[in-house]
């Protein structure tokens, strides 16, 4: 038997399949308007990379904001717990987890045994998240993947004072209208995300070692800016976007292993 973990987020859904605590396959698909279909698509995509079928899955754990829309899941677990488990799997000495997803961000503090001792999340506003960067990249007329590269060309950073995504977009449009170089605006946006994230870290207290998960961890500019502000290395797993689903799969494997 194998175990499955599914993380249904606001922008993407991920599935991870494991056996004997080793990853067999994983997938990342857009959530779209139907989180239930997205969860199913993610699972099918992950299975397609393995010799297994649904009938081989002994236990499934769902996480993420859409976890209640995974009817075949045997258990639903919060993303706080799952991201902690996934981060510890990648780096056993992790004590602080920074997770920035599509529409929320969180900082999780762990003890020496890997248990969650404290955490904080952003408010309902999407500022400082993947959606924030996506909207701003659109305003700058660049691909989201190119935002970090563009920012690297900046000699200075624009000051983005708005914390609301809607107001920040208006601010960006205004800066463009004034002729502000796009690279300076891009760096200002990255700094804005980093500043908000670091403030969250300080709320729970910085404890080394630091691991960053979530889709925004793929943005090298954001990771670099957070590192500079914290003064410590921020490690990023090979595929940071699947860490929540990985943690869910590990929890599911604990159940499967009881039956073996």
Q: Where are the domains of the chain?
A: 1-91+239-260, 93-236
- CATH 3.30.420.40 correct for 1-91+239-260: yes
Per-residue pLDDT for 117 more than 70? yes
Tell me the whole-structure pTM to 2 decimals. 0.93
pLDDT tens digits along 172-223: 999 999 999 999 999 999 999 999 999 999 999 999 999 999 999 999 999 9
CA 141 to CA 138: how far, in whole Å?
Answer: 5
97: number of Cβ within 10 Å: 26
Burial of 103 (0-12, 13-18, 19+ CB in 10 A): middle
What confidence tens digit (pLDDT) does each residue in 40-93 have? 999 999 999 999 999 999 999 999 989 999 999 999 999 999 999 999 999 999
* Same fold: 1-91+239-260 with 93-236: yes
Q: Report domain 93-236's class.
A: alpha beta
**Comparing 43-52, 109-118, 128-137, 220-229, which segment has the lowest mean pLDDT?**
128-137
| Residue 255 clears pLDDT 70, i.e. is over it | yes
Residue 176, phi then psi, degrees to nearest 5: -60, -40
Token output for 150: 């563009």
Residue 151, preceding peptide bond in cis (omega within 30° of 0): no
Residue 135, H or E segment: helix 130-140
């Amino acid at each position: 038997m194998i175990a499955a973990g599914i993380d249904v987020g606001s922008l993407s859904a991920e599935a991870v399949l494991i056996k004997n605590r080793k990853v067999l396959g994983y997938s990342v698909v857009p959530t779209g308007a139907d989180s239930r279909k997205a969860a199913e698509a993610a699972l099918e995509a992950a299975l397609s990379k393995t010799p297994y079928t649904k009938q081989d899955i002994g236990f499934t754990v769902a996480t993420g904001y859409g976890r209640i829309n995974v009817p075949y899941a045997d258990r639903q677990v919060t993303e706080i717990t799952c991201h902690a488990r996934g981060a510890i799997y990648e780096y056993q000495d992790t004590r602080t987890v920074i997770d920035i997803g599509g529409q929320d961000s969180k900082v999780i503090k762990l003890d020496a045994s890997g248990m969650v001792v404290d955490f904080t999340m952003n408010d309902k506003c999407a500022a400082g998240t993947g959606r924030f960067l996506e909207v701003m990249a659109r305003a700058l007329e660049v691909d989201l993947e190119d935002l970090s590269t563009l920012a690297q060309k900046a000699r200075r950073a624009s000051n983005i004072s708005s914390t609301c995504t809607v107001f920040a977009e208006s601010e960006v449009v205004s800066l463009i209208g004034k002729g502000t170089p796009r690279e300076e605006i891009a760096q200002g946006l990255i700094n804005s995300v980093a500043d908000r994230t670091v403030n969250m870290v300080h709320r729970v207290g910085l404890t080394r070692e630091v691991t960053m998960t979530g889709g925004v961890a793929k943005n090298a500019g954001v990771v670099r800016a957070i590192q500079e502000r914290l003064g410590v290395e921020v490690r990023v797993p090979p595929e940071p976007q699947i860490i929540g689903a990985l943690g869910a799969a590990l929890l599911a494997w604990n159940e499967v292993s009881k039956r073996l």
